[in-house]
Amino acid sequence: MSNQVGVQLRHDNIDPVALYSTVARRRTDKLDADGNSIPAVTREDKVKESSIGIYYQNNFQLTEWFRTIAGIRADFYKFKVNSSRPENSGNENDSLISPKLSLIFGPWAKTEYFLNVGRGFHSNDARGATITVDPKMGSTTDADGNPVQKVDPLVRSVGAEIGMRTEIVSNVEASVALWRLKQNSELLFVGDAGVTEASRPSVRTGIELDLHYIPKPWLIVDFNAATTRARFDDGDPDGTGKRIPGAIERVLTAGITIDDINGWFGNVQYRYFGPRPLIEDNSVRSKSTILTNARVGYKFSKKWNLHLDVFNLFNRKGNDIDYFYRSRLAGELGGVDDIHFHPVDKRSSRVTLTGTF
């Protein structure tokens, strides 16, 4: 039996985090439907977020073929927001306790089976935890200054998975797992308005396959495939649909890694993100996104190495993220429902020198 105790500290100071109206990347005032001027700054905030996590883990080998891993973690968060709209400034604190348990059976024939259950959480946008009114500065729309409901800083989730790991094939490590994750609410950021909304509760189920082939000590071939079914879990009371906008349904990754051939190392990684629903009834969907990244480097010693990263190696076009909502172009009398997106970056590179002391 063994025990482990730990503490994790983190502090983020974001100044500013903002939403602006722009034309050709220049902040520009805009006009509403009646021709009234709306300032380029929708909202501008300074955000400080501090957290501390304390955890305990126990590993217990009951028999040669059965062991357990039990743990508990306590997380404490503090949010501070200084907003360009004073009504949305403030401080919020929250905490959660998350127990976890793993049961591992085996190995038999180089194969073991596992069951994991536990509680967790996701943190909401700090601005959503302190917001009180719609942040559209200077807007003449009816929404300006209307009360907005705050979101819970931390949102509880409960997850479980069952699966197996095996090395029955020489030089191959493989695992497969069935999993389920239930969350008390989804987080939705309305980019055009600059507000954060706590959406409906959700449940996700899926299956994941992971393969590692190691033909040589210096060569690793990886493959991962996952498929997910994501749905809102509240019975669809308003009849809009049960799909979760933006929830990815299929992911494939594959890569080749070379490590330490006379000091040289590198890898190539391929990623496929499948189409995803953009509205709840699944009538509008995004396209898939494919990216390939590469790295090559050299180790001068145990303490120093230099490497070159090339992102989007083949300079493919695609979208990082897609949204579907109504917007209006200059000169249009009414809005138009359409897909809005953030494109992936063009091919780029980065050189990094790393030293360890």
The runs of H, that is alpha helices, within the chain are 126-130
Cis geometry, peptide bond prior to residue 245 (ω within 30 degrees of 0): no
pLDDT at 255: 98
pTM score = 0.83
Q: From the first residue on, what is the mean pLDDT of each consecutive set of 10 residues in the chain (357 residues)?
A: 96 89 83 74 90 97 96 97 91 96 96 97 88 66 66 93 96 97 84 68 97 95 97 90 93 96 95 95 96 96 95 95 81 81 95 93
pLDDT in tens, 200-238: 999 999 999 999 999 999 999 999 999 999 999 998 888
H, E, C per residue of 136-168? CCCCCCCCCCCECCCCCCEEEEEEEEEEEEECC
pLDDT at 192: 60
Domains in the chain: boundaries: 1-146, 200-357
Q: How far is it, in rounded angstroms, from Cα 49 to Cα 52?
A: 11
Secondary structure (3-state) at 296:
strand
Q: What is the DSSP letter of 128?
A: H
